[in-house]
């Protein structure tokens, strides 16, 4: 969405995060948007309406009927707007939206609004995880032209840690700027993509499948989602010395690899790249300089992240090894094929309806080669080498703990993200996955279901702790 010239109604409900709505209003104005504000009574206890009136240069719609109020503001304000943005949205006002209750300016405007609506929840983690709030948010996600933004985990105003934080104003602006582009992507989801048709074996991520680039049919994954922590185009977290990742660089592998059988067919897997996008976004939002070596994938990275594209496992291996000495951390998130055809045909293999045998040879193990190179670099530096953190991924479908423990020991990684994309509505292409972060000498924790944003935050937190 091009924000310049857009009319945005900002609904503000009561909570400590109200002060961020002032920052959001200013960012929207810098992008050229015209903003008006409506507030609940509770919101006025945190920030005076005069503040929003001064910033927006327009009277604020209040329940008590200010002098400037008109009798039909609850219709006029939303009818004027191109977009209704509710920031922050408390548990109380979310409940009103879901149940059709309209007894304050914010809920009245929601009820009479005919333009698209975007809601940014903010509340204590216990409230956010309550059955009532979860149900109400799910109801709102089903409303036409209504988007519920991600509520990231972190330290809350009350001192507790968990999900329920308000998405940062810069992140909200960045989401709005790419909103129409993502909608167009979803509308085009039915376009034909390579069709999975046969199986193989893969270590870190999904099992390879034989794909035919000429085949038609839908891909078994959700439409691409916005980055977990996008950052406004005019902001650069890597320049903020107050962020914990300032001055540090992380290298990520992302997407899947494709191993050519002939010019039109290849061995690949079902990775969409969504987990890598979440990781890149969270690292970047924490001040890290982020570089990604990405194989083919559907998900898009946020601005500010450097992306180098590769196709095969050997190309990814070479790209990672050439950059290894310059980074503080490496996270191996890509779905790298364990094997490749021993010989790729120069022309398309014709369909003779006879049995086809493909000889496979192993690909290099990028994770283990990184560990070996780190050891060699540390030895040659005679104790002066800086600390480098390496995290691997292990996708398993059975005997989770046993396989994770074996892979962690063989690889020598500092941690291993065990994930199991076997539950319904999770894993490949979805926004949630069953996972656990496994550390050496700490036992194998039980896996739990969480968003890929939660997964990314846990890895970033681990890396920051390891780097000190």
Give the C-alpha separation, 101 to 215, whole Å.
50
Pick the catalytic residue: 115, 158, 370, 432? Answer: 158
Nearest CA among 32, 9, 31 for reference residue 21: 9
Neighbours of 101 (CB within 10 A): 15
Q: How many helices (H) and strands (E) does the chain have?
A: 15, 21
Q: Hey, CA dihedral for 280, 321, 337, 332, is it positive or negative?
A: negative
Distance of CA 5 to the CA centre of its chain: 29
Phi, psi for residue 402 in degrees, rounded to 5:
-60, -50
Query: What is the three-class DSSP state of 153?
Result: strand
CA distances (Å), 232 to each of 165, 184, 284, 401, in order? 18, 21, 12, 40
ω into 164 cis (within 30 of 0): no
Q: Greatest CA separation found in the chain?
A: 84
- Interacting residues of 439 by C-beta distance below 8 A, sequence separation 6+: 414, 415, 462
Instruction: Verify whether residue 158 is a known catalytic residue.
Output: yes
Residue 264 has, within 13 A of its CA and on its CB side, a CA count of 11
Rg (CA), the chain: 25
By the 8 A CB rule, do 452 and 275 touch?
A: yes
**Residues acting as catalytic residues:** 158
């Amino acid at each position: 969405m091009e924000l310049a010239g857009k009319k945005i109604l900002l609904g503000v409900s009561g909570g400590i995060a109200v002060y961020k709505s002032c920052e959001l209003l200013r960012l929207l104005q810098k992008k050229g948007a015209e903003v008006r504000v409506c507030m609940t009574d509770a919101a006025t206890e945190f920030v005076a309406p005069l503040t929003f009136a001064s910033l927006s240069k327009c009277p604020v719609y209040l329940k008590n009927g200010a002098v400037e109020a008109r009798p039909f503001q609850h219709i006029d304000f939303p009818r004027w707007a191109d977009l209704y943005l509710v920031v922050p949205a408390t548990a109380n006002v979310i409940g009103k939206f879901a149940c059709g209750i309209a007894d304050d300016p914010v809920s009245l405007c929601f009820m009479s609004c005919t333009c698209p609506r975007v809601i940014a929840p903010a509340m204590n983690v216990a409230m956010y995880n309550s059955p009532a709030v979860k149900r109400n948010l799910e109801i709102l996600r089903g409303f036409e032209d209504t988007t519920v933004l991600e509520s990231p985990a972190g330290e809350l105003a009350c001192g507790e840690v968990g999900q329920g934080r308000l998405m940062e104003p810069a992140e909200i602006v960045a989401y709005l700027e790419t909103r129409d582009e993502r909608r167009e992507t979803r509308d085009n989801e039915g376009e034909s993509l390579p069709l999975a048709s046969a199986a193989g074996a893969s270590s870190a991520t999904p099992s390879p499948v034989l794909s035919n680039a000429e085949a038609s049919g839908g891909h078994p994954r959700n439409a691409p989602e916005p980055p977990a922590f996008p950052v406004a185009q005019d902001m650069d977290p890597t320049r903020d010395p107050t962020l914990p990742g300032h001055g540090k660089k992380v290298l990520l592998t992302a997407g899947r690899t494709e191993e050519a059988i002939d010019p039109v067919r290849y061995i690949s897997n079902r990775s969409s790249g969504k987990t890598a996008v979440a990781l890149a976004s969270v690292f970047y939002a924490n001040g890290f300089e982020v570089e990604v070596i990405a194989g083919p994938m559907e998900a898009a990275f946020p601005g500010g992240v450097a992306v180098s594209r590769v196709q095969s496992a050997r190309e990814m291996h070479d790209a990672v090894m050439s950059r290894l000495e310059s980074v503080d951390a490496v996270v191996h998130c890509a779905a790298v094929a364990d094997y490749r055809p021993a010989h790729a045909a120069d022309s398309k293999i014709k369909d003779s309806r006879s049995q086809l045998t493909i000889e496979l040879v192993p690909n290099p193990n990028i994770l283990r080669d990184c560990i070996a190179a780190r050891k060699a670099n540390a030895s040659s530096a005679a104790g002066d080498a800086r600390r480098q953190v390496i995290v691997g991924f292990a996708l398993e479908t059975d005997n989770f703990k046993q396989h994770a423990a074996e892979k962690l020991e063989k690889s020598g990684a500092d941690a291993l993200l065990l994930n199991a994309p076997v539950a319904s509505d999770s894993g490949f292409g979805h926004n949630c996955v069953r996972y656990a972060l496994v550390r050496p000498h700490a036992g194998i924790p039980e896996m739990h279901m969480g968003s890929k944003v939660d997964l990314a935050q846990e890895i970033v937190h681990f890396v920051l702790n390891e780097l000190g």
